[in-house]
Homo-oligomer: A and B are copies of this chain.
Amino acid sequence: MARQDRAIRTRRICLEAAAEVFDECGYEGASIAAILERAGLTRGALYFHFSSKEELARGVLAEAVTAEGVMPQPLKLQEWVDTALLLAYRLPREPVLSASIRLSADPRARGLLGTRWPDWIALGRDMIAEAKARGEVMPHVDPLVASRVTVASWTGVQLVSGSQADAPALVDDIVALFALLLPGIAVPAILTRLEVSAERPARLLAQAGPAAPAD
């Protein structure tokens, strides 16, 4: 393995180990020692990439906005739905994503590190605005407000579902969320043309082909 590949891979191991520890222990509860143990790396290898716990947390957050698996669709609103479904499918499988929500939900970590919510809101706003320009969205819907409310609702569903022993899988609850939200956003003529299903994100990822290293 070339030196550069090895460095990229080591950095990735650091981030994933840090994400797992942040996800389990929160920001305050996480220690560099626990992250090192999880990563199976020497202190020197980790410090080559990240100089502190804070920098590791920033690295985790930097990777937490992703549209991986989203593919161009005839309806722009479908791409927006796909982004939300893919995130719901991937989050329980990828500590970097769940850790970033846990860091954002913690007021202390949020004060120190900020959140990625503004980026998610901007991403959704742009997709809804483009869908609106194509006539897919009802005229009275404000893309920014619709995106902000949806990002917030998505986050709340993850938080509340994740805390209930008998709750369905996250992706099922996100499907239920969009089933309620879409009639308030999409023009009636396209409502039945949108696919909002728990099976869709896995299919999209399979179509996207053999995974690049997950991020």
Q: Which residues of A contact B (CB under 8 A)?
A: 26, 28-29, 102, 104-108, 110, 115, 117-118, 145-146, 148-161, 163-164, 167, 173, 176-177, 179-185
Contact = CB atoms under 8 A, between A and B. Distances in A.
Contacts of A118: 164
A177 B105 CA distance: 20
Nearest to A157: B152
Contact of A153 (B104, B107, B153, B183): B153
A94 B152 CA distance: 22
Q: Which of A105, A106, A110 has the most CB of B within 10 A?
A: A105
B146 A180 contact: yes
Contacts of A173: 148-149, 152
A179 B182 CA distance: 11
A149 B161 CA distance: 9
A156 B163 CA distance: 13
B176 A180 contact: no
Contacts of A145: 176
A145 B164 CA distance: 13
A117 B158 CA distance: 13
